[in-house]
Amino acid sequence: MPPLAPIDTIMNPDDPILITGAGGFIGPRVVKGLLNHGFRNLRCLMRPGGDSAKLAKYADQIGGNAHVEIVRGNLLSREDCLCAAHGATVVYHLAAARGEKSFPDAFMNSVVTTRNLLDACHHHGSLRRFVTLSSFSVYSNDKNGSGDLLDESCPVETQPARRGDAYTFAKSKQDELVTEYGKKFGIPYVIVRPGFVYGPGNEGITGRVGIGSFGIFLHLGGSNTIPFTYVDNCAEAVILAGLKKGIDGEVFNVVDDELPSSRQFLTLYKKNVRDFRSIYIPHAMSYFLCSLWEKYSQWSEGQLPPTFNRSMWCSYWKSARYTNAKAKNRLGWTPKVSSAEAFQRYFESCRKKIAHA
């Protein structure tokens, strides 16, 4: 693949770039994209034991004379952070505590790790941009009306613990910390908030569509638009967030252009991957059930954890509209993979996964 057209960046192609979580879901695509953009000095931080084959393949195929260094380390170690961040001009902090159910573990693997990395960057003093990956789940959708626009100006959750979701809590606190370091130490940061990132490597159905925890799939999304972003498109937005001039301190929501409704997605999924029984729960009913669960959880002093609650309902299942206008205008980003093509790739990957299960 030939290098992409050069973009107006805050750095030179040989300046060192650090990518944490390089072995994760989005990380390898960011590495690949940076190589395609012509950046030649990449340091990829991976957990000990993580599979680096994909990164090595990209380095061989498109790296040319690029230097792709794979560093093994743990972001909980300040020493590892100091080594990894040494001389880095741009840091893509993609490492995340995905799927962690315990609040302390999620917090430790998101917030403490981010603090260690920020301290290391501050110590070295070479940083020009710190890109942190957040999530749509940090927005509070409580006060928005049904169908209102959810964009970067919307308020974030002020009491994230009440959501009952360790990931949301950790991501909210991570965003707070990055903002605080920006104010206190002048760390130049950009926060990228993707919607639901899907693609080969993440074959699950987002909870925004529904949940299968109770033996049968409860379809909760209905006619809601689902804020999908294909992993390659998301990776490109992340890359640009680290390179573009004049966007320090900004937040960018990332969603693709043609977003299907929950019902449309479910129909496509059943047609292209596998058929299964699902029951549609109308919004009023799901709100009532979440409210009931929340009240029971409070009354029973946590006998049932507050996994379902009104705040969570508003964030996940209240109808909203999404926009990628800011990312397009300020980052110059466009989703290169169309939704039709992206879903085709995703469904193919889902079928393969089921066949190998």
For another protein, the binding residues (CB under 8 A) are 47-50, 74, 99-100, 102-105, 107-108, 111-112, 115, 161, 169, 173, 299-303
Query: What DSSP designation does 122 have?
Result: H
- Shortest separation between residue 254's beta carbon and another protein, angstroms: 27
**Least distance in angstroms from the C-beta of 228 to another protein:** 25
Find the shortest distance in angstroms from Cβ 79 to another protein.
Answer: 11
> Which is closer to another protein, CB of 33 or CB of 160?
160
Closest approach, Cβ 85 to another protein, in A, equals 18
Contacts of 339 (CB under 8 A, 6+ apart): 228, 230, 256, 257, 258, 259, 260
Query: Which residues lie below 8 Å from residue 288, measured CB to CB, with a gap of 6+?
Result: none
Q: How far is the CB of 83 from another protein (least distance, A)?
A: 15
DSSP codes, 124-146? H---SEEEEE--GGGB--SSSPT
- For residue 356, CA distances in Å to 9, 210, 343, 351 come to 43, 24, 20, 9
Rounded to whole angstroms, the Cα distance separating 239 from 131 reads: 9
Closer residue to another protein, CB minimum distance, 49 or 246: 49
Minimum distance from residue 284 beta carbon to another protein (Å): 27
Which of residues 36 and 74 has its CB atom nearest to another protein in the complex?
74
CB closer to another protein out of 103 and 280: 103
**289 to 218, 257, 304, 319: CA distances (angstroms):** 12, 32, 14, 17
Nearer to another protein, 104 or 332 (CB): 104
What letter would DSSP give residue 11? S
Nearer to another protein, 28 or 164 (CB): 164
Question: For residue 196, what are the CA distances in angstroms to 37, 82, 214, 289?
Answer: 25, 32, 22, 24
44 beta partners: 19, 70
